[in-house]
Chains A and B, each alone.
Chain A
């Protein structure tokens, strides 16, 4: 693994909090208090942390250096995909089938463990609401945290490797 800033940034409290919030919101808040705000919260937390996760994952396996340019490119691509999924029906359908396909192995294993028949791939839920685009500024979090990690000082951030 190289020492690019995205692997530093992804361990910062803000990124970890966004990830924890995403998980809590999807699996606790939405089932219990599902409403417009839980939908927005998932979008904000997801958009904040997703570019960092992809960049750090790629950096971990040597795909890219994980610097500002990488994170910014991933954030831009994520934003374009997010807008398409929310506003364009074919893109939304592709997302629904694609994510369901990724979920299928886990659901199939669970069905086999319970002795049930293999489930159909189906589609995941998607609320196509244009007001979700209000969450787009959260995409700035990844590049900003990466820039901060790149210029940090060890005295202030003892858990980061500084260059």
Chain B
């Protein structure tokens, strides 16, 4: 007889200890899940765009794109973020990627994430995206390589469970 059973018998407890362990563990697990799920995520609206492929080399080491982001509808509290990631054929050299909106900027090697000026709808903002081929650490240039940028725009409608029918976002390349 283990200690738990002895305690149970001495105290006249009706629920066996092992069952009680399981019951407590069950309540704790359900409670943890309920606590985590107590708030719903903001409603998200997303769109993405593949920018034209560019070839970067020692002689043409920089490419710049201009994007126009437009949000339609009437919503008071929103938050928009734009993520730019790079895709390249091998071999790929070191690059520096930068993105700049009217309210934020980010420069990074692998990808850039910025906020876009869209705290309420309707909104519009211009974004400049720049990719620059860098010299290798030994000072040499890598062979020419093709790069494609993937732009992913997310618009969060804060504290809303539904997506109003008139809400939309659009992202386009500006020549």
Name A's B-contacting residues (CB within 8 A): 1, 3, 7, 10-11, 15-16, 19, 22-23, 26-27, 31, 34, 42, 46, 49-50, 53, 56-57, 60, 96, 99-100, 102-103, 107, 119-120, 122-127, 154, 158-163
Contact = CB atoms under 8 A, between A and B. Distances in A.
10 contacts: A11-B27, A22-B34, A23-B34, A53-B28, A57-B32, A96-B39, A122-B42, A125-B161, A154-B13, A162-B11
B16 to A, nearest CB: 11
Contact of A102 (B8, B20, B36, B159): B36
Contacts of A99: 36, 38-39
A103 B34 CA distance: 11
Given A11-B20, A11-B23, A22-B34, A122 B28 contact: no
A31 B126 CA distance: 36
Contacts of B14: 158-159
Nearest to B46: A120
Interface string B68-97: 000000000001000000000000000000
Contacts of B17: 161
Contact of A124 (B20, B25, B41, B79): B41
A122 B11 contact: no
Contacts of B159: 125-127
Interface of B: 7-8, 11-15, 17, 20-21, 23-25, 27-28, 30-32, 34-42, 44, 46, 79, 154, 156, 158-161
A49 B31 contact: yes
B24 A1 contact: yes
Nearest to A24: B34
A160 B12 CA distance: 9
B13 A16 contact: no
A10 B27 contact: yes
> Which are the 3 A-B pairs with shortest beta-carbon distances?
A53-B31, A124-B39, A57-B28
A19 B32 CA distance: 10
Contacts of A23: 30, 34
Contacts of A3: 7
Contacts of A126: 39, 159
Contacts of B156: 122-123
A125 B41 contact: yes
A102 B20 CA distance: 28
Nearest to B162: A31
Nearest to A104: B41
Contact of B24 (A11, A49, A100, A158): A11
A60 B154 CA distance: 41
A154 B24 CA distance: 18
A128 to B, nearest CB: 9
B27 A53 contact: yes
Nearest to B28: A57
A46 B38 contact: yes
Given A56-B28, A103-B36, A122-B41, 11 more contacts: A7-B20, A11-B23, A22-B38, A23-B34, A26-B37, A26-B38, A31-B161, A99-B36, A103-B37, A107-B41, A162-B13
